Structure 1
Amino acid sequence: MQSLSRALTVLAELNREDRAYGVTELAVTVGLHKSTVHRILATFCTHGLAAQVDDHRYTAQDGLAALRRTPDRRPAPEHSLTELGTRLGRLVVMAKPLPKTTGLVLQVTDVAAEAGSGARVGAVRPGHAVSLRWSALGRAYLSALPVEQVTGSADLLDALQRIRASGFAHNARPVASLPRMVAVPVRAPDGSCAGALGAELIQPGSVDEVRRVVSVLRSGV
């Protein structure tokens, strides 16, 4: 029962705040060895209780409710997202920040694709963590935050400046569960950044494709 007690202690700490935790931080807080905490977190990720984000940090997912979820009971994508998937004939993904984690954690909230398009929808599911610094979704989201809220390397800040000028972000290679994508920021009614909307980029070197996809995505936001 000692191992169960340790796991529950880590789970409770991981759910204490809506933010990402480092393995070392959790180990120090709960008084366990770093390798023990790492194994516990890996198990949580396998069962949907946690997700790994940037820089080897982890964030809580849907808690014990995730164990009760089945694909048939998963909430359906918004109608507008389904329409975008149909128009583009490819995977379309919406990502939003977790509560109280503006600028820190982003996760997939909705996924859609045209039936028969061949898009691997199952590879990207609601709840998946999104890399803020490497994925098109993450960078589109960061680009729309107030400049003073975003920190990072000079290369990242330069990239975000270019995204602000162009209005979209793209990555030419897959990032974790996400395929090659182009993405645009999503604004809330008050003008703040509410997330990012992206679509699979089938021809990453095609400027015409990027322009067409961006045009369709913007019509959805």
Structure 2
Amino acid sequence: MTRYLSSQLLSLRGQRGLKVNRGQDLPAQQRGSVLIMALISLLILMLAGVALISSTNTSLLTAGNLAFKRDLANQTERAVTAVRAQFVSGALLSQTTLYTDQSSQNYWAHALPSTNAKLPGIPDVLLASTKADDITDAATGIRLRYVIDRMCISGTVPDKSICTMGSFVDDKKGTAGVTKVSAGLGPVYRLTIMALGPRNTQTFTQITFTH
């Protein structure tokens, strides 16, 4: 009986020792797995951080370029004001003057050619490297160039056969069922403005009007 109990005790001690040994091995294996997972997580977080910084820089650069272009578009009002003054009380006031080219005033009595496939509709004269800046702002680094051309094919005295003619409909006249009055406003003129700014920013603006 005593021998039997002793063998059972030895068996239990052996089992307990085995469990203790196994218990000591498991934490070592778990610590290795946790380390690998931690490194993978850190790598993922690092990549995400780099992507976020790159995206932020790109967004800031895009926003800055859009702000420059918007400012340039607003600056073109200077050229519009200058051209309006020429037609209202300046060198381009007389109709007979408008029958011929006035290069000193950036005016051409015929439609200017445009051959640049990347900038369709923009006159070649405006894109020429020899075209001088008409308005310069040294403080902001903004430069404006512009040309005015009459939408005519040829000839001096404008008419419908050679020119694009402007008109308007007077909606204050006439009664119900009667065609409203349409008045002719003469040939159409086109103002093309190229604005140059910092960071090689460039915008084009075109306006048509009658005189």
**TM interval, short-chain normalised:** under 0.3
Structure number, greater radius of gyration = 2
Calculate the TM-score normalised by the size of structure 1.
0.24
